[in-house]
Structure 1
């Protein structure tokens, strides 16, 4: 059964580490979410990406949308690879490049550097050590942000696997209908409802096949 409801988010202070299972991750990150928006026209792809859509546009999605081998972008932030992205944000935003870096330091922080998703199984790697769970669809939730835009979390519940694997995982990738994901923010933990309140830490994953420069190009394209 799908669970769809609207939640007004408030900022929380989040823990960045994953000692599976632990409270997981969330987002309130900067993707031009405060931009002026004209509600008089139909919501297209860019509107949806920025969080403006109608309820009847939302569709169920399967875990296969996120299948693949994924890497955390957090190491690239820490080693300076993402510096061009921070400078670009500073040119178009309301923070300095260093302020954006600090913001994303909190947002991207995680010690899970790789995630492998295949055939309903999700494997989390921390320092090369795997923890795996099997997951099934548990509906989706619609979140309303302070800026007035919205996001959809796609929720999956553990049905088997390692005891250390989290009971719930929630995906956000700026999509609201079936499509293969090109990157995503992941939240995980044992309390389904609590994950929806987490707004400061949103570990972000891109395909492991991309190198740092290619991830920079992908981010600048958005």
Structure 2
């Protein structure tokens, strides 16, 4: 009799435990489903945006903090052969030869600024001749339409103080059109805001300074 009563109490306790945990399990399952669905949609949108396919109402202002940190140019890596694997991969899947891709990216990546540091509203450009520094404020963004029909967004910042040799303007392009922490970017700089918007062949490209060449190659694939 006592054994039967113990079994009954255990059964009731187990049932209560299952009842308490069922909403939690269901919630976790729903959250996983929701996360998967959101990620799928997010990735799909990112892919379209990366290709330059987006509507004006998707574009949002961004702050300099999206690019905060220490950055290295990939131009030295292209020149020393570290990016040859990337160029070969492009040649296997694209419409140019290895040499043609390397020439194209040599023109695109070329720069004498091998490091850039963004801290707060300050930008420091490191050249062989020494660093130059300026303070910058947000100057909006510009939408460009290319001959292919795709589009891009340049986020613009203008100098308000600093060294005379620091550029008056710089413009980011990182295939994003809304606030997000950048993982790499193309940068255009100079003293003529409008002229910079016409530059389409030279786009110095920067990745986080703490990445190794192999890690950059992996990200580029």
Aligned equivalent of 2:60: 59
SS of match in other structure, 1:44: helix
SS of match in other structure, 1:53: coil
Aligned equivalent of 1:27: none
How many residue pairs match? The answer is: 178
Match status 1:79 vs 2:80: yes
Aligned-pair CA distance for 1:158: 0.3
Aligned equivalent of 1:137: 138
* Greater Cα radius of gyration, structure 1 or 2: 2
**Larger RCO, structure (CA 8 Å, separation 6 or more):** 1
The runs of at least 4 aligned residues of structure 1 exceeding 3 Å deviation read: none
SS of match in other structure, 2:71: strand
CA RMSD of the aligned region, Å?
Answer: 0.9
Aligned-pair CA distance for 1:49: 1.0
Which residues of 2 match residues 118-197 of structure 1 at below 5 A?
118-127=119-128, 129-197=130-198
Deviates more, 1:71-80 or 1:125-134: 125-134
Aligned-pair CA distance for 1:128: 6.6
Aligned-pair CA distance for 1:114: 0.1
Q: Deviations over 1:172-200 (max 9, x none)?
A: 00000000000000000000000000111
Aligned-pair CA distance for 1:50: 1.2
Which residues of 2 match residues 198-209 of structure 1 at below 5 A?
198-209=199-210
Q: Deviations over 1:128-147 (max 9, x none)?
A: 71100100000000000111
Q: Which residues of structure 1 form unaligned runs of 5+? A: 1-42
Which one has a larger percent helix, Structure 1 or Structure 2? Answer: 2
